[in-house]
């Protein structure tokens, strides 16, 4: 059974599926000498090339957890500075040879857990499944948190033209609380806090589904365990 061309390119580690679609639309991908089109299927033995060069073989699947520091930008733009890929390569430890991508984003002023993988099926499923997969944050704000503010976050707050989905909000201290959401809108938590009269001082993501940041130091990474990988796939690839 064949594989769609964008998935095939992602599995070689050359790029993400989204970037593969852009390369195909730009006419830079060929299958057996003819220009590829979106939706093409690649069979074993097909000659797939990008800008005239062989796309390469499929890579083994890799899964990492990384503690993104504040000031690091979640982008794959090689021309940008202070990117997450630069931070990952500056970390201690020998990274896998396979090309991996961050799964999701954290804004530049936030820190915490972000996953890396070259498993395009898992990455796409995580990005698509709005409203299904929990992400937990520890939030420090500029003034004491009221119970009304926590209740509003639990029920949903109107931002960017529509209400947020129900969330879990629990007080950790006078100005600190945990917030678990199942969305990932642009600067969502900062906007939610602003809507109830609070401004975020520090924001750290501590969990994605069952994967916890734990004691992983800022700027450090680790491989996911076999149990963590199996758990992710069970929850996401339904």
Q: 197 and 96, same structural domain?
A: no
Output the CA–CA distances (angstroms, integers) from residue 35 to 19, 25, 41, 112, 120, in the order listed: 16, 10, 13, 42, 23
Q: Report the CATH number that the domain containing residue 108 is assigned in CATH.
A: 3.30.70.580
Confirm whether 78 is domain-assigned: yes
Residues paired with 23 in a beta bridge = none
Q: 141 and 197, same structural domain?
A: yes
Q: 149 and 40, same structural domain?
A: no
Cβ partners under 8 Å of residue 23, min gap 6: 9, 15, 29, 50
Confirm whether 31 is domain-assigned: yes
From the list 107, 119, 124, 210, the catalytic residue is 107
User: What domain range is 107 assigned to?
Assistant: 63-129+220-236
The whole-angstrom separation of Cα 69 and Cα 52 is 38
Q: Report the CATH number that the domain containing residue 146 is assigned in CATH.
A: 3.30.70.1560
The whole-angstrom separation of Cα 235 and Cα 146 is 34
The H or E element that residue 41 is part of is strand 41-42
Residue 107 known to be catalytic: yes
Confirm whether 155 is domain-assigned: yes
Q: 29 and 14, same structural domain?
A: yes
Q: Structurally, how many domains does the chain consist of? A: 3
The whole-angstrom separation of Cα 101 and Cα 96 is 12
Confirm whether 215 is domain-assigned: no
pLDDT tens digit at each of 238 positions of the chain: 688 998 888 888 777 788 889 999 999 999 999 999 999 999 888 899 999 988 877 778 999 999 999 999 998 887 889 999 999 999 988 998 888 889 888 999 999 999 999 888 888 888 776 667 899 999 999 999 999 999 999 999 999 999 999 999 999 999 999 999 999 888 999 999 999 999 999 999 999 999 999 999 999 999 999 999 999 999 888 7
Q: 230 and 176, same structural domain?
A: no
């Amino acid at each position: 059974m064949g594989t769609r061309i964008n998935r095939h390119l992602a599995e070689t580690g050359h790029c993400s599926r989204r970037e593969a679609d852009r390369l195909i639309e730009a006419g830079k991908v060929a299958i057996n000498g003819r220009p590829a089109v979106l939706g093409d299927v690649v069979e074993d033995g097909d000659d797939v090339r990008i800008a005239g060069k062989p796309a390469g073989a499929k890579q083994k699947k890799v899964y990492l957890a990384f503690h993104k520091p504040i000031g690091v930008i979640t982008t794959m733009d090689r021309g940008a500075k202070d990117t997450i890929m630069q931070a990952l390569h500056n970390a201690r430890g020998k990274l896998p040879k396979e090309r991996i991508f961050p799964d999701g984003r954290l804004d530049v002023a936030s820190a915490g857990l972000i996953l890396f993988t070259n498993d395009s099926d898992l990455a796409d499923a995580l990005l698509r499944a709005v409203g299904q997969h929990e992400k937990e944050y520890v939030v420090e704000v500029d003034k004491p948190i009221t119970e009304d503010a926590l209740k509003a976050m639990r029920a949903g707050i109107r931002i960017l033209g529509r209400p947020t989905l129900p969330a879990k909000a629990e007080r950790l201290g006078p100005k600190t609380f945990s917030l678990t959401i199942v969305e990932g809108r642009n600067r969502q938590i900062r906007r939610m806090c602003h809507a109830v009269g609070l401004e975020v001082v520090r924001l750290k993501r501590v969990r994605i589904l069952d994967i916890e940041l734990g004691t992983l130091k800022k700027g450090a990474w680790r491989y996911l365990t076999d149990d963590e990988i199996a758990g992710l796939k069970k929850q996401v690839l339904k």
